[in-house]
Amino acid sequence: MQEPEEPAEQTQVADSPGPRDRRPMDSLFAAPPMVEQERMVEAILFASAEPVTIKELGERMPHGCDPAEALAHLRKRYEGRGVQVVRVGDAWAFRTAGDLGYLMQRETVEVRKLSRAAVETLAIIAYHQPVTRAEIEEIRGVAVSRGTVDQLIEMDWIRFGRRRMTPGRPVTFVVTQNFLDHFGLESARDLPGLAELRAAGLLDNRPSPIGGPNEEDDADALEAGEGQSELFED
C-alpha cells in the first residue's frame, strides 16, 4: 500500500491534452473574431444558472476578448426570442421570456410564502437601502423580528451592507443580486415606482420633530437622508 502522495511519476496523466491545449487562440495571437467571442459568451451564459459578471466572462474567455461588446451583440441577437439575455445587477444571465412562463408550469419553483412583515421589510430594504434596522422599524412603526430578517437573509434576498457611521455604528441592509434576479430587475434603480416615491419625498428619511413616537431613531434618521441615493454613486 503506497501513500497517496507518491511521487509525481504515477499521478501524471499523459493520455489527454490539458483543456487549455484545445483553446483555439493563444494570448500571443489576436483575440478571436467578435462572432466567436459572442459564441463564447453565449455558451458561458447558457451554461450557468447564475448570472455571470463581465469580469467573470473576461476571465474565462481567451486573452484579448471584449466580453462587454460580445454581450451587447448577443443581447441584440436574442431580442424577441424565447430566451433573453437579461441584466442582473452587474451580471448577466439567460432567462426565458416572461410571456412564455405559462408553458413552464412543470418547472415552477414554489416560493415560500412570505409573511406580510417579511414582504414589507423586504420592500423597505429595497427602496431605502442601505437601511438600518431602526429605520425599518421607524417606517413600519413596529419592531422587526429577528426571524423576519433571518428569513430574508436565508433566501439570499438581503445581506448586510456597510455599517452606518453614526453612534453605535449600526449595520445596514441591502438587497442582493439574487433578489434582483428573482424579481427580474436589472438593478435596484429599476424598482417599480422608485422615481415617483423619491419625487414625493417618501424615500427621505425625514427626521421626526422632537417628541415623535420614535425618538430613538432620530440619530440614524438624520444621517440616513442619503438613503437610496447612495446606490447611484457606486
Site for a copy of itself, residues 72 to 101, rule: CB under 8 A? 80-83, 94, 96-97, 99-101
Task: Identify the residue whose cell numbers are 454581450.
Answer: 71
Q: Which stretch binds a copy of itself (CB under 8 A): 41-49, 125-133, 163-171, 218-226?
A: 41-49
| Out of 28, 79, 110, 211, the residue judged to bind a copy of itself by CB under 8 A | 110
Rounded least distance, CB 177 to a copy of itself, Å: 9
Could you give the CA distance from residue 15 to residue 60 in angstroms, rounded to a whole number? 25
Rounded least distance, CB 199 to a copy of itself, Å: 26
Contacted entry of other proteins, a copy of itself, none for residue 4, CB cut-off 5 to 8 Å set by kind: a copy of itself
195 binds other proteins (CB under 8 A): no
Q: Do 64 and 31 form a contact (C-beta atoms < 8 A)?
A: yes
108 binds a copy of itself (CB under 8 A): yes
CA 231 to chain centre: 13
Nearer to a copy of itself, 154 or 216 (CB): 154
What cell does 128 get? 431605502
Sequential DSSP letters for 77-144: HTTTSSEEEEEETTEEEEEE-GGGGGGGGGGPPPPPPPPHHHHHHHHHHHHH-SEEHHHHHHHHTSPP
Could you give the CA distance from residue 4 to residue 215 in angstroms, rounded to a whole number? 66
2 binds a copy of itself (CB under 8 A): yes
| Out of 28, 106, 165, 232, the residue judged to bind other proteins by CB under 8 A | 106
| Out of 111, 165, 199, 210, the residue judged to bind a copy of itself by CB under 8 A | 111
| Beta bridge partner(s), residue 53 | 91
